[in-house]
A = this chain, B = another copy of it.
Amino acid sequence: MSKSSKPKVYQGVLEEVRMYIRDNHLSPGDKLPSERELSDKLQAGRSSIREALRALELLGLIETRHGEGTFLRSYQSLQSVELLSSFILLEDQTRNELHQVKRMIEKEAVKMALPLIQEDTLTKLEAIVKSSAPSEKKHIDFFTCVLQQANNKLLLKIWMLLEEFSHSIDSVYESQVFYDKLLEIIAEKDNNALESLYEQ
């Protein structure tokens, strides 16, 4: 007759830990009680405690240091994004969609970076384009640089993940002419030309 399943211990632990953090006003960097202590206080087996802590760790909410303890951690790592993305990509990585999304991000990254690009970055990009490296490395170097300028770590991370996956699936990169034009567009900060370049 029951509809909802029995709550699991580790979920209760998550709740308790959260309250502990709130009630003790813990800030990033502060230490949490040890696993054995939590096990004691919360009346739960150490393994259940660990299941909860491991989950929090994977989410990037805490950090454990062997021999030292478990510490609260500021959430900026974007760690969970990485994991989630990789599983999302597992499901149906149709080449076309992947390629389309990646290309879109690259285009928009350039657009974001445009107002922020300085002379030195430009020379750096130029060097990359003119180098004799394989087109794959060239591509990665180029857009890594652009994305850094775009000043959005989240976007950078997403792009790197897509890049990695696309690398293991197919390897379609742009032509030399493409990069030349792109460089020109960046130098002149021409938004419309950028759009047209990516139209094709």
Name A residues whose Cβ lies closer than 8 Å to a Cβ of B: 5-6, 10, 14, 18, 21-22, 27-28, 47, 50-52, 54-59, 61, 66, 74-76, 78, 80-81, 83-94, 97-98, 100-101, 104, 108, 112, 152-155, 157-158, 161, 191, 195
Q: B88, A61: Cβ atoms under 8 Å?
A: yes
Do A86 and B195 form a contact, CB below 8 Å, given A5-B66, A158-B101? no
The residue among A5, A50, A51, A57 with the most chain B CB atoms within 10 A of its own CB is A51
Q: Which of B54, B75, B89 contacts A87 (CB 8 A)?
A: B75
Q: How far is the CA of A97 from the CA of B147 in the complex (A)?
A: 12
* Residues of B close to A155: CB separation below 8 A: 97, 100-101, 104
Q: How far is the CA of A55 from the CA of B59 in the complex (A)?
A: 8
Q: B55, A94: Cβ atoms under 8 Å?
A: no
| Chain B residue at minimal CB-CB distance from A61 | B87
Copies in the complex: 2
* Residues of B close to A21: CB separation below 8 A: 87, 90
Do A161 and B88 form a contact, CB below 8 Å, given A47-B50, A76-B94, A101-B155? yes
**Nearest CB of B to A3, in Å:** 14
Q: A14, B83: Cβ atoms under 8 Å?
A: yes
**Nearest CB of B to A51, in Å:** 4
Q: A83, B59: Cβ atoms under 8 Å?
A: yes
Q: A58, B61: Cβ atoms under 8 Å?
A: no
* Residues of B close to A59: CB separation below 8 A: 55, 58-59, 80, 83-84, 87
The residue among A56, A84, A154 with the most chain B CB atoms within 10 A of its own CB is A154
Q: How far is the CA of A101 from the CA of B92 in the complex (A)?
A: 22
| Chain B residue at minimal CB-CB distance from A22 | B90
Q: B18, A98: Cβ atoms under 8 Å?
A: no
Do A93 and B108 form a contact, CB below 8 Å, given A55-B54, A84-B59, A88-B161? no
Can you spell out 16 A-B residue pairs with CB atoms less than 8 angstroms apart?
Answer: A14-B83, A52-B54, A54-B54, A55-B55, A59-B87, A75-B87, A75-B90, A75-B94, A76-B93, A76-B94, A81-B161, A91-B157, A93-B154, A94-B154, A101-B158, A191-B195
